Amino acid sequence: MIRDLIDKNLYDDALSLYIEMVKDVVFPDDFTFPLVLMACSSIVGLREGQQVHSHLIKQGFSIGNVYVQNSLMHMYSSCDKLHFARQVFDEMPVKSLVSWNTMIAGYSKLNAHVFVPDCRGLQDAILLYALMRHRCISPDKFTFTVVLRACASVPAVLEGHQVHAHVVKFGLESDGFVKNGMVDMYSKFGDMGYARKVFDEIPNKDLVSWNALIAGFIRLGDMGSAEALFRDMAERDIVTWNAMITGYARSEHASEALALFRQMQAEGIRPNAVTIVGVLSACSLLGALSLGMWLHAYSDEHGFSSNEYVSATLIDMYAKCGDIGKAFYVFERMPYRDVVAWDVMIEGFAMNGRGQEALRLFERMKMKGVEPDEITFVGVLSACSHAGLVDEAFKHFESMGSEFGILPKVEHFTCLVDLLGRAGRLRDALELIETMPMNPDSVIWGALLSACRIHGDIELAECALQHIVQIGSDDAANYVLLANIYSKKAKWEEAVKVRQLMKSKGLSKEPGCSLIELAGEVHEFLAGDVSHPQYSNISTKLDDLVRNLKAAGYVPKIGSALRDMVEEEENALHHHSEKIAVAFGLISTDPGTMIRIVKNLRICEDCHCALKLIARLEGREIIVRDRSRFHQFCKDGTCSCSDYW
């Protein structure tokens, strides 16, 4: 009867029947205990499992019966109590291969959570396998499958190659599951040559092997090879689609991710929570709010919104699309909020210029007893920067170590440099960089360089760029920034030299690109772009905007070193990508509708000045997310960044 109930997945009923059996003083035997422990494993019933453990000790089954002991280990492993399972394992006088496999699998399962990687249990799995071989226990295909997965996840490259040699030694290299494990392992090592070699030797390739190889190329950022394999597949499952969509999103090929998602829908493949997270990430990159809202409704309808990772990604999507109200709505509806949810919401407030709200949320987080992590403090310090709270920022910075034992990283120092730069304390920012406990990177020097642009400090800007070059960073944006600082101070010769230096290094400024979503379709505009089907109407609107701007007192910010090309420079300014996108938004939406733009570069001074005026003249709110931060241009002609970016 107990076995029958377990076969029907009625685990609680099976346990109830066992309790009746004990009450009737019917003594269990060595068949009863494994069944009951199986029921405890299935419901993750630690309390019930421990009670059964005490029963079997009373009945004399605590040692000697390998079958019962293996079931006991499996129960503790299922309840994530590996120290109890290991205690049972160590006390066994005789261990079967199943005993070793059960314990190795238990360690391999521990901390194997895809979102929270932790190598300790996986390393124990590898060490236990080594002990097993030392005692001359012959592994089987199940052993190899588990150990290969552990080696892949650590990653343990040397041990992985040794396990591969053992696979050959025991004649299991032709087993499909073992082959798939090796493909996955070498892919996670980034050794795609070995992975492809093993893959090509599999006679009847299944989806697991295809997916493992595709995932390996995606991890290396080789989306071309991943896509070629994807196209060659005769059959694809949801894992394949998810890997490709997530790979495109992570490599910032968001348009391709959305196109693949639409193809997936057309082929009748139903998305799952992993799909939703991948597509929402692509929406965040593109600012595709309409599609993000549709995915939100789809998640609610199909029960995905209860998934904490879907909820956190929804918050991130709304925040990065500039709809912080909806982001907070999702946050407040979450039944359970882990530290990731709090981090995403705090960062969302900070990036949208809501520094005070981010700090209030941080205090609420602590009151709820949620322990902050290093990412939390990046959001908190960023919020202080947006709110101009220098003293409070340093107070939180000090609390990282004193209250929470978190060592600050370069990202935290970057936030402080940004904060000091915003406050005009450039020398203090330089001193902070020079006294950091770690070597500063190009990002932190770039933050100082940006502050020099705002405050016109040429000497410090030259120092910052010199350090950036010494580090080996050749980001053209930094050279352009220094050239513009020179131009702003009318130091034309110095500006020309910087441009010539860029040319000698083979550097060119990345073309400006702005995205705007209308009616679920993302429109992309490059600087000077004339390719859009509605360009004639866009050009007419741009001309109207320029006339109205000049009538309102607008003077173009000519920042070029080429003084004899003022007219051409001014015309180029009027056709920056964000201005084209805004003009398109104005002619394509009803009056009063908010316009949202996503730009790949930092917004220039001229566009920032022009968009403040356009927002006031057109009576529109315009949100621009550039490479650095959000700019919410209000109808009164102000910007949320307080003219610091």
pLDDT tens for 558-581 read 654 344 444 555 677 788 999 999
Reduced to 3 states (helix: H, G, I; strand: E, B; else coil), residue 551 is helix
| CA 211 from centroid of its chain's CA atoms | 21
Give the total residue count for the chain: 645
State the CB neighbour count (10 A cutoff) for residue 238: 15
Model pLDDT, residue 117: 42
Per DSSP bridges, beta strands 595-599 and 513-518 are: antiparallel
Mean of pLDDT values over 451-462 = 90
Where does CATH 1.25.40.10 sit in the chain? 409-509
Model pLDDT, residue 559: 54
Model pLDDT, residue 374: 94
Mean of pLDDT values over 224-231 = 92
Mean of pLDDT values over 304-327 = 93
Model pLDDT, residue 312: 94
pLDDT tens digits for range 91-105: 998 899 999 999 999
Min mean pLDDT across 37-46, 155-164, 459-468, 579-588 is at 37-46
State the CB neighbour count (10 A cutoff) for residue 268: 6
Burial of 547 (0-12, 13-18, 19+ CB in 10 A): exposed
Mean of pLDDT values over 306-333 = 94
182 CB-near residues (< 8 Å, 6+ apart):
148, 164, 167, 195, 198
Model pLDDT, residue 187: 87
CB of 296 closer than 8 Å to CB of 305: yes
Between these two residues, 329 and 520, which has the higher pLDDT value?
329
Edge-to-edge strand list for the sheet holding 622-625: 521-526, 513-518, 595-599, 622-625, 630-633
| CA 112 from centroid of its chain's CA atoms | 18
DSSP secondary structure of 184-232:
HHHHHHT-HHHHHHHHHT-SS--HHHHHHHHHHHHHTT-HHHHHHHHHH
Q: Using alpha carbons only, how large is the chain's radius of gyration in Å? A: 30
153 CB-near residues (< 8 Å, 6+ apart):
112, 117, 119, 122, 188
Model pLDDT, residue 119: 57
Find the helix or strand (DSSP H, E) in which 518 lies: strand 513-518
CA-to-CA dists, residue 29 to 22, 35, 304, 585, angstroms? 12, 10, 44, 76
Mean of pLDDT values over 24-28 = 87
CA triple 601-606-612, angle to 5 deg: 100
Model pLDDT, residue 487: 81
**What is the fold of 409-509?**
1.25.40
Model pLDDT, residue 63: 64
